[in-house]
Structure 1
Amino acid sequence: MNRRSSLRAIAAGALAAGGIAAAPRKAQIAITFDLEMSRNFPKWEDTKWDYEKGKLDAATKEYTVGAARRIKEAGGVLHGFVVGQVLEQENVEWLKKLVADGHPMDNHSYDHVRVTAKLLEEVQFRFRRAPWLISGKDPKEVIQENIELCSAAMSKRLGVKPTGFRTPGGFRYGLSERPDLQDMFKQLGFKWISSKYARHLNGPKPDTKIYESIVAAQRESQPFRYSNGLLEIPMSPISDIGAFRNGRWKLEWFLEAVHLSIEWAVANRAVFDFLAHPSCLGVVDPEFKTIDLICKMVRDAGNKAELTDLHRIAAATPQ
């Protein structure tokens, strides 16, 4: 049995596990971009983006538009998550056009804040440098205001009222251990969040064990509801940051991981939420090979899979 055949057999059979929603009739494949700048890209020594997450450069915008065009030609949409700082830029017509073309945009907080922070200095790098911006407040207050500020900016500049939220950074158990945050997101009017990123192996050159770990993590990355009814739509490993920053992978290795993961999702009629950052993916994959691979695999799957977005995944998830 070759490696791909053995990986295909990892989770054959029932998809359901405790807390995981029933599988949809078709595999639901979403392509999502976090619209922000990324540390170590385009040059490895670039670290200023920790403080300037929303200062999207021309290349990042162009790559986002190019990816959206390819996905739409394949019958899908690109689902974006916007850091509010992006909307301070003078020209956001490119983003407004994406919205007009049917590509959904949702909230990624204004300053890329860590929603689980318990100390002010943990909230975001820029607040360590400029603590006076949040002095006299507690972390949860800062976090909630930052999320609301992003929603206000999106409404004002894009005409969009976000109903979904992706946390900056992913958490192994999502927000399972933070019912206070679950309640906060419901109170803010969000219908779903994307905060869980299942743990898996990684390394400077992926071997069979790493690929197996990534594929196995897909079963833990299916939509579920918290006790208060808030829907969680996990990010599917492995992300571009996980591969190209943390692992320093080659593109071909990343493509293999994506291929194996989607193969599993199609076989199990599961959800696959591809997570990428155009400021990273555009540097390592300028020819859109990953986007084209995903679209081709969905097309080749016929009636077993569909390109979709997180809103439609949410709508298809049982209450």
Structure 2
Amino acid sequence: MNSYSRRDWLQAMTAFSCGGIATGMLGGRQLRAADSDQCLVAITLDLEMSANFPTREMTHWNFEKGNLNEETKRYSVEAAKRVKAAGGLLHFFAVGRVFEQENTDWLKEIARGGHPIGNHTYDHINVTATTVNDLQFRFQRSPWLLRGQSVPDAIRENIVLMKRAMESRVELEPVGFRTPGGFANGLKEHPQVRSLLMELGYDWVSSLYPPHPNTQPMEEPSTAVLDGIVAAQQNAQPFIYPDGLIEIPMSPISDIGAFRTGRWKLEWFLKAIRLSLEWAIENRAVFDFLAHPSCLYVVDPEFRSIELICDLVRKAGNRAAIVDLRTFAERARRSKA
């Protein structure tokens, strides 16, 4: 990997600025969040290891979420390059333990491409937990790591630690916050979590993953299942909580839902993506593709999912654009105004 100058990092930090109107480029066209008649598409990847990948029996990743293997890192870098070549940005969310690894040059390369990296907590914890056992597998096994902290204090520290780790290792602040695990109602029943996030400087969160039908393992999704996934896109549209925090839901079906829970074939997953994105384009809605490179490098080594999304957006012309989640948030703010 190349070494980077201080000037390089200042340029990257400027690219990550949240001020003003978020913009992007697609095919030479400048895009603005104010284009409310346009379908906005985000490709988001959570930087963490996923249990059951690359083999079904591998579950130790639950205790080592940030110990990314080389395949996951390479996939992330290449995915960012492909999305950038298509005229968009890829929004990453990293767990803080990623920054404990010896080398972070691959993350710096991603950042230099202008791709934002958001906060996914330090240990991939459940931010709605009320007991130590609900926080994370790591703390179930090693509760002494909490040093006697209360659960709310542990949640706060885990969010803050990720930011400190990122600032220390790549000299950038996280862009946005995504909760580990998606919640059917987002944070609607958790005002204390929303308050904490706003107190820590986050004005938008990605926490809602709407319910949708799935199949029995290794069963091809029926028309009814696919129709249900498409219908769930209506519940994956951004909104603003009463306290002002913006919610940017994740769009079903995720790679984990398809390949861990459903144990689908790749072609089935691609069909669900195509139908869902076509709905979003037709309805000038948003589509937030949720995936994990630690899963995709196993099930989709040729990047067919990402290439499909880029191709559908390209064919849509002015009706769609690939942007990051900041642009989703900006549109939500403007629609309220």
Q: TM > 0.5 between the two?
A: yes
Structure 1 position 139, deviation (Å): 1.1
User: Quick check: 1:227 aligned with 2:242?
Assistant: yes
Q: Which residue of 2 aligns with 1:206?
A: 221
Question: What letter is aligned with 2:248?
Answer: I
Asked if the contact 1:197–1:236 (Cα under 8 Å) also holds between the matched residues in 2, the reply is yes
Asked if the contact 2:120–2:177 (Cα under 8 Å) also holds between the matched residues in 1, the reply is yes
User: Quick check: 1:173 aligned with 2:188?
Assistant: no
User: Quick check: 1:94 aligned with 2:106?
Assistant: yes
CA distance in structure 2 between the partners assigned to 1:163 and 1:69 by the alignment: 19
Q: Which residue of 2 aligns with 1:160?
A: 172
Asked if the contact 2:77–2:110 (Cα under 8 Å) also holds between the matched residues in 1, the reply is yes
Q: Which residue of 1 aligns with 2:303?
A: 288
Structure 1 position 135, deviation (Å): 4.2
Asked if the contact 2:122–2:162 (Cα under 8 Å) also holds between the matched residues in 1, the reply is yes
CA displacement 1:257-313 (0-9 Å, x = unmatched): 000000000001011000000000110000011010000000000010001010111
Alignment of 1:24-103 (within 5 A): 24-103=36-115
Q: Which runs of 5+ in 1 are unaligned?
A: 1-21
Question: What letter is aligned with 2:151?
Answer: P
CA distance in structure 2 between the partners assigned to 1:306 and 1:171 by the alignment: 27
Asked if the contact 1:27–1:304 (Cα under 8 Å) also holds between the matched residues in 2, the reply is yes
> Residue 238 of structure 1: SS of its match in structure 2?
coil
Asked if the contact 1:195–1:233 (Cα under 8 Å) also holds between the matched residues in 2, the reply is yes
CA distance in structure 2 between the partners assigned to 1:23 and 1:229 by the alignment: 22
* % identical equivalent positions: 56
Q: Which residue of 1 aligns with 2:253?
A: 238
Q: Which residue of 2 aligns with 1:187?
A: 199
User: Quick check: 1:111 aligned with 2:138?
Assistant: no
Structure 1 position 134, deviation (Å): 1.2
Q: Which residue of 2 aligns with 1:300?
A: 315
> Residue 329 of structure 2: SS of its match in structure 1?
helix
CA distance in structure 1 between the partners assigned to 2:141 and 2:67 by the alignment: 17
User: Quick check: 1:266 aligned with 2:281?
Assistant: yes
Of residues 157-166 and 79-88 in structure 1, the stretch that sits farther from structure 2 once superposed is: 157-166
> Residue 301 of structure 1: SS of its match in structure 2?
helix
CA distance in structure 1 between the partners assigned to 2:303 and 2:230 by the alignment: 22
Q: Which residue of 2 aligns with 1:136?
A: 148
CA displacement 1:208-247 (0-9 Å, x = unmatched): 1110110000000000011100000000000000000000
Count of aligned positions: 298
CA distance in structure 2 between the partners assigned to 1:54 and 1:135 by the alignment: 21
1:124 to 136, 151, 158: 136
Asked if the contact 2:95–2:122 (Cα under 8 Å) also holds between the matched residues in 1, the reply is yes
CA displacement 1:132-179 (0-9 Å, x = unmatched): 111422211101100000011111111211241000000000000011
CA distance in structure 2 between the partners assigned to 1:158 and 1:221 by the alignment: 32
CA distance in structure 1 between the partners assigned to 2:175 and 2:190 by the alignment: 20
Question: What letter is aligned with 2:311?
Answer: K
Compute the RMSD of aligned alpha carbons: 1.1
CA distance in structure 1 between the partners assigned to 2:175 and 2:116 by the alignment: 10
CA displacement 1:30-60 (0-9 Å, x = unmatched): 0000000000001111101000000000000
Asked if the contact 1:23–1:269 (Cα under 8 Å) also holds between the matched residues in 2, the reply is no
Q: Are the structure 2 counterparts of residues 265 and 39 from structure 1 closer, same or farther at C-alpha, using a change threshold of 3 Å?
A: same
Structure 1 position 83, deviation (Å): 0.5
CA distance in structure 1 between the partners assigned to 2:138 and 2:190 by the alignment: 24
CA distance in structure 2 between the partners assigned to 1:297 and 1:24 by the alignment: 19
Asked if the contact 1:172–1:198 (Cα under 8 Å) also holds between the matched residues in 2, the reply is yes
Asked if the contact 1:77–1:103 (Cα under 8 Å) also holds between the matched residues in 2, the reply is yes
Asked if the contact 2:116–2:175 (Cα under 8 Å) also holds between the matched residues in 1, the reply is no
CA distance in structure 1 between the partners assigned to 2:88 and 2:229 by the alignment: 25
CA distance in structure 2 between the partners assigned to 1:187 and 1:176 by the alignment: 17
Q: Which residue of 2 aligns with 1:14?
A: none
> Residue 34 of structure 1: SS of its match in structure 2?
strand
CA distance in structure 2 between the partners assigned to 1:105 and 1:86 by the alignment: 12
- After TM superposition, the runs of 4+ consecutive aligned structure 1 residues lying more than 3 A away are none
CA displacement 1:153-208 (0-9 Å, x = unmatched): 11111121124100000000000001111111100100210000000000132101
> Residue 77 of structure 2: SS of its match in structure 1?
helix
Structure 1 position 23, deviation (Å): 9.0
> Residue 79 of structure 2: SS of its match in structure 1?
helix
